[in-house]
Amino acid sequence: MSDKPSKGGFNIGNVGGNVSIQAGGDVVAGDKTTTTTIITGFKQEQDKQAFIQQIEELRQQLRHLKSEIEESKGGSLDEDEKDSIVMEVMQHIKALKTASEEAEQLPPQQEPSQEKRDAIEAPLNGVNQIISKIYTVFEKTADFGGKFKNVAYITSLLLSTRHLFGLP
């Protein structure tokens, strides 16, 4: 065994038999590095701000879509169906505002509680459902026209927003 001073850790010289090492924690070779992976939530403040911006953009796009539905004429969509869809869209606009407020309170680099995650994820799932419903309804009407582009944009925006929060 050398008389040179060693750098911390285990220093084992010549052993004439078996060696057994026990530790109260991890035994690692080299420097121990711990990595925490955030599965949901915001990895950094920039993601959080982008998420909040995209939620507001989703709300704007839903308002625009609501107006288009209200103004649509003809086709197989009667006034009661239009009113029902418009009310649903308005509920989702409000739910997204709540999700945005919940997101504002979350610190980045920290996994949110299941309750907070649900409060943010549920409105996003709701938007997905209403967009599918609107697409189906518009597909049946004669005045579908340029509305598909708006629905497609909302869908891509929704996916991007979900990704920022770590949702599939």
- Residues 91-139: pLDDT tens digits? 999 999 999 999 999 999 999 999 999 999 999 999 999 999 888 777 7
Q: What per-residue confidence (pLDDT) applies to 134?
A: 83
Q: Where are the domains of the chain?
A: 45-106+114-164
Mean pLDDT confidence for 69-80: 77
Mean pLDDT, rounded, of the chain? 84
Query: 7 is written with which tokens?
Result: 């750098």
**Mean pLDDT across 133-158:** 75
pLDDT at 86: 94
Whole-number Å distance between alpha carbons of 62 and 67: 9
- pLDDT digit string, tens, across residues 25-58: 666 666 666 665 658 899 999 999 999 999 999 9
The CA–CA distances, whole Å, from 11 to 4, 6, 24, 130 equal 11, 7, 18, 65
